[in-house]
Structure 1
Amino acid sequence: MTTPPTPGPTPDSRRRSMVVAAFGTVVEWYDFSIFFYVSASLAATFFDGDDSALLLTLALGAAGFVFRPVGAMVFGHLGDRIGRRSSLVVSASLMAVALLGIAVMPGSDTVGIWGGVGVLVLRCLAGFAVGAEYTGIMVYLVESARDGRRGLAASWAAANSEVGSLLAVGGSYLLSRLLTTEDMDTWGWRILFLVGALLAAAMVPLRRFMDETETFTRVRDSPADTGTSPLITVLRHHPRAVLVSFLVSAVGSAAYFLNITNVPTYLGQTTEITGSTSLWLGTVAAVAAIIVTPFIGAASDRFGRRPLFAVLAVVILVTTLPAYMMLSGDAGTTALLGAAFLAVPAAGWSAVAASAVPEQFTAVGRFSGMAVGYNTATVLFGGLSPFVATWLMDVTGSVYAPAWYAVGVILVAGVPMLFLFREQADRPLSEVNSDSELLPVT
């Protein structure tokens, strides 16, 4: 007698699982965005707000990104071994702990430098946890979507990441309008981290209702599984895909963190615009990014990933410096347009990357390989970018240093990526999963 195959998820169950998965990026990007939006308040709380306090606070924010590749290797292995869903449940739990810990951490007036040390440890824990988040969710959505709709489906992960940023900047703006600067620096910022902890905790029970993807189930039950670590397998046989993942994410991370997340901090450093006004400009930019993201994801299904990447690269190159000049003008329409010109192409790049990067890998090691390539780039060009941009402005004296830095990343990483990239938009996922050209499985 043969055991009948386990029935797959129903269409309704699959849609529910995809919605739950996509919502996870809201929490991840809220977490990492809120730190930079309230960096001035954190500097005042943990480092007394002296001249080097902001730079030190941004360095703490970047430290969390250093642990993303470590978490990526651990959770990538778990995701390829025990399942996409299980690894995402664990990561959400750790994120909730990290956010709650920062929300209740005493400041320098109570425990001295140890408050800053505690924030550093918790940022590292958060970075370790989110090593699974965005990459795992993109893998899940690509593997759950219908052929010909993978770009649109995965772009919802990118759109929801921008929703997370919108919640962060919108919440920061609201509190800055309701509270005095002293109250915001003393306790107002803690509310924002507490909200993030509650969102992350809510993800834990929700993710238990997600169905495992059919791709993972087939790989797990395959008799060809040799027991070799998926990470070792993908690094040995799949170096080009890992490199492409790194290059795509390098451009996306630099553009996103410089041209969206860091804009309010940049305005506070270089203009006379008030904190609440700069946060308002960031909110408008985030809304614009959310609106365009699914349309660009759908366009990548119709026209291909590489053509969209090429167009977006040119747009970022051409508009970044003029947009920064517009930001430096005034707090009116000019600055608003500048923020939008920075946000829309950066969000578009993330929308295409959400499906394009997972498609570079076969089923074996997709989670592991993508997690390592993506998160390594996010460390170097995401979390470090606001710190590097601030340092470059101090060293060069130029308020346009962030723009030149973003342009440099596009040229160094984006151009070779376009030549190495494999176009997979028009191929069924079943072919991509078993493509011997991409990954020879023995």
Structure 2
Amino acid sequence: MSEFDPQAQSDPAASSNPQREKGRRRSMLVAAFGTVVEWYDFSIFFYVATILTTEFFGDRTDSLLLTLGVGAAGFLFRPLGAMVFGHLGDRVGRKSALVVSAVLMAIAMLGIAIMPTYDAIGIWAGVGMVFFRCLSGFSVGAEYTGIMVFLMESAGSNRRGLAASWAAANSEVGALLAVGSGAFLAATLSPEAMSSWGWRVLFVLGALLAALMIPLRRMMEETDTFKRLQQAEKSKPALKHSRSPLLIAFLQQPRAILVAFLISSIGSVSYFLNITYVPTYIEEVSDVKNSGSLALGTIAAVVAIVITPFFGIASDRFGRKKTLAVLMAVFILTTIPAYALLGDGNSGVAVFGAAFLAVPAAGWSAVAAAMVPEQFTGTSRFSGMAIGYNVATVLFGGLSPLIATALMSSTGLTLAPAIYATVIVVVAGIPTLILARNMAGRPLAEVDHDKDLVSV
């Protein structure tokens, strides 16, 4: 019998074993919680970028750009981590890759928390910051992609959109935790205390959350897809050693990698410019205090968390492509006007602008969480998706705040970030709708189907 027989392996949620079903649900909850830690890690850096600028790079006119560049440097290591962890995830297991990445995340955030400042050790403070940001970027090469893969492979056929949207929603929880913690400390501490040690508390909290994930992830159960891959390799040992999952992805699934890149490009631009970058943007164009801008960022994160599951449900019911098409239209028509509201100077109008920007960004992430892993077969899903997603995140995620700030500085246009985001949505969105395969509601065995394993 084929290892990917649709009649025998159609729905991971259709187990008649209550204990196995309980373990599957527990594993999904643990996996979904992991995105909280990942996005807390990367979000908190940008939320306190103005403080880190002074503490690690001195008070020069170009220091903010330098700090944002360090943040972007962390993203440059994501593809490298993706290649390593993608191979590990497809060969050794989804769970093992996620455990190792949690260990490295904890080390990276703790390292930043205890790093001496520029006044204490000079240029070496900036060097240390770059090292730990790169380590953080390397470690999260497995995170969001691995979690989306795990949730997608563990959910029922008609609920993959909702289940995978947990990853997107919890990424907003991580962002909310970051901006909420930052806003709380900024409001309760003096500016001197916040600059001196308050920001370190934020990174210590992230390190503790990452450390907590280690024992939890060790209790996770592997997905049915990976178990079937293991069984296939036992029957055909040559499959395990003849080709790497990464090579298989490049040779057999280049279209899937391209689609993953295109979808993730829009998701990265929208998330980092419509949600994460909002506090920094408001501080730059409206001269708002740090506590006020972080409060607006909190509002954007709350809105994103609330609406994300509804977009996951919509993608299950109406299809991924139709939902993405509607979101594209909203992006194109509203991003520039919403950014104009942020710079209006009226706090009530700015609140509306921040909240509205978060809606299409959260919606796109929710749909992409299931749609991207559905582009790949089971053999090299982790590897292929990790490359497509993380390369897009480098180019259009970590670099977007830096590019947006540079565009404003060079052109004098305060709406430059909105124009940049709109152009990316149009350029990447149209080919996405043409090339992507729509697997919503299809049995997991059909999505996983790989010709190399059919005869097993």
Tell me which residue corresponds to 1:4.
none
- CA distance in structure 2 between the partners assigned to 1:354 and 1:441 by the alignment: 30
Matched, 1:184 2:199: no
Structure 2 match to 1:433? 448
TM-superposition CA deviations, 1:46-100 (whole Å, max 9, x none) = 1122211111000000000000000000000000000000010000000000000
Match of 1:323 in 2: 338
Distance of 2:453 and 2:360 partners within structure 1: 32
CA contact (8 A) 1:277 1:331 kept: no
2:13 corresponds to: none
Q: Does the alignment pair 1:148 with 2:178? A: no
Mapped to 2, the partners of 1:441 and 1:315 lie a distance apart of: 46
Aligned to 1:78: 88
Contact 2:378 2:450 in 1 (8 A): no
How far has the Cα of 1:325 moved from its partner? 0.6
Residue range with higher mean Cα deviation, 284-293 or 181-190: 181-190
1:396 is aligned to 411
- The answer as to whether partners of 1:14 and 1:144 remain within 8 angstroms in 2 is yes
- The answer to whether 1:212 aligns with 2:222 is yes
SS in structure 2 at match of 1:146: coil
Q: Please point out which of 121, 124, 127 is paired with 1:114.
A: 124
Between the aligned partners of 2:450 and 2:427, the Cα distance in structure 1 is 29
Q: Distance in 1 between matches of 2:323 and 2:376?
A: 20
Comparing 64-73 and 423-432, the one that deviates more = 423-432
SS of alignment partner, residue 222 of structure 2: coil
Q: Is 2:80–2:141's contact at 8 Å kept on the other side of the alignment?
A: yes
Q: Is 2:363 the partner of 1:348?
A: yes
Counterpart of 1:298? 313
The RMSD of aligned alpha carbons is 1.5
For 2:325 and 2:406, the matched residues in 1 are separated by 30
Matched letter for residue 184 of structure 2: L
Shift of residue 435, structure 1, vs aligned partner:
5.4
Alignment partners' CA distance in 2, 1:10 and 1:428: 19
Match of 1:136 among 143, 146, 150: 146
Give the residue type in structure 2 aligned to 1:100: L
Partner of 2:420: 405
**Equivalences for 1:329-368 in 2 at 5 Å?**
329-368=344-383
**Aligned twin of 1:280:** 295
> C-alpha distance in 1, partners of 2:455/2:388?
20
Per-residue Cα deviation, 1:306-328 (whole angstroms, up to 9, x for no partner) = 00100001101111000001101
TM-score (norm 1): 0.96
Opposite residue 125 of structure 1, the aligned amino acid is: L
Contact 1:273 1:331 in 2 (8 A): no
The reply to whether residue 33 of structure 1 matches residue 48 of structure 2 is no
Q: Report the Cα distance in structure 2 between the residues aligned to 1:252 and 1:289, rounded to whole angstroms.
A: 13
Separation in structure 2 between the aligned mates of residue 33 and residue 134 of structure 1, nearest angstrom: 14
Aligned residue identity for 1:293: T
- Give the direction of change, closer, same or farther, for the CA distance of 1:439–1:120 in structure 2 (3 Å limit): farther
| 2:430 matched residue in structure 1 | 415
1:95-142 CA distances to partner (integer Å, 9 max, x unpaired)?
000000000000011000101100100000000000000000000000
The letter of the residue matching 2:350 is A
Distance 1:66 1:432 in 2: 30
CA separation in 1, counterparts of 2:328 and 2:195? 38
Distance, in Å, in 2 between the alignment partners of 1:31 and 1:95 is: 8
Q: CA–CA distance in 2 between the matches of 1:311 and 1:194?
A: 40
Q: The residue matched to 1:280 in structure 2 has which SS?
A: helix
**1:188/1:292 CA distance change after superposition, 3 Å:** same
Give CA deviations for 1:331-374 in whole Å, capped at 9, x if unaligned. 42211110011111101000000000000001010000000000
| Residue identity matched to 1:130 | V
When normalised by structure 2's length, the TM-score is 0.93
For structure 2, the 5+ residue unaligned runs are: 1-15
Question: What 5-or-longer segments of structure 1 have no aligned partner?
Answer: 1-6
Whole-angstrom distance in 2 between the partners of 1:88 and 1:164:
17
Whether 1:268 aligns to 2:283 is yes
Task: Name the count of aligned residue pairs.
Answer: 435
State how far apart, in whole Å, the 2-side matches of 1:191 and 1:221 are.
Answer: 46
Provide, for residues 173-217 of structure 1, a one-character-per-residue CA deviation record: whole Å limited to 9, x for no partner: 001101122221111100000000000000000101100111101
Q: Distance in 2 between matches of 1:380 and 1:307?
A: 26
Deviation of 1:440 after TM superposition, in Å, equals: 9.5
Shift of 1:441: 9.7
For structure 1, which segment, 71-80 or 420-429, has the greater mean C-alpha deviation from structure 2 after superposition?
Answer: 420-429
In structure 2, the CA distance between the partners of 1:440 and 1:263, relative to structure 1 (3 Å rule), is: farther
Residue 296 of structure 2: SS of its match in structure 1?
helix
Go from structure 1 to structure 2 and tell me whether the alpha carbon gap of 1:372 and 1:439 turns closer, same or farther (over 3 Å shift).
farther
- Letter aligned with residue 195 of structure 1: L
For structure 1, which segment, 371-380 or 178-187, has the greater mean C-alpha deviation from structure 2 after superposition?
A: 178-187
| CA distance in structure 2 between the partners assigned to 1:106 and 1:304 by the alignment | 51
Separation (CA, whole Å) in 2 of partners of 1:62 and 1:439 = 40
Q: Is residue 310 of structure 1 aligned with residue 325 of structure 2?
A: yes
| Displacement of 1:330 | 2.3
2:231 maps to 221
1:196-239 deviations in whole A, cap 9, x for unaligned? 00000000001011001111011122034252100001110000
Q: Give the counterpart letter for 1:334 in structure 2.
A: V
Tell me the amino acid that sits aligned with residue 447 of structure 2: V
Partner of 2:167: 157
Contact 2:76 2:394 in 1 (8 A): yes
Q: Which moved more, 1:200-209 or 1:271-280?
A: 271-280
Other structure's SS at 1:273 match: coil
Question: Take 2:54 and 2:72, find their aligned partners in 1: how far apart are those partners?
Answer: 18
Amino acid at match of 2:216: L
CA offsets 1:138-158 (integer angstroms, 9 cap, x no match): 000000001100000000000
Partner residue of 1:105?
Answer: 115
Give the distance between the partners of 2:36 and 2:453, measured in 1 at CA: 32
% identical equivalent positions: 61
SS of match in other structure, 1:147: coil
Change (3 A) 1:368 1:441: farther
- For 1:351, the aligned partner's letter is A
Whole-Å Cα distance in 2 between the matches of residues 441 and 165 of structure 1?
Answer: 45
Give secondary structure in 2 for the equivalent of 1:422.
coil
Aligned partner of residue 367 in structure 1, secondary structure: helix
Q: Which residue, 253, 266, 290 being the options, matches 1:251?
A: 266
Which amino acid is the alignment partner of residue 22 of structure 2?
A: D
The aligned counterpart of 1:230 is 245
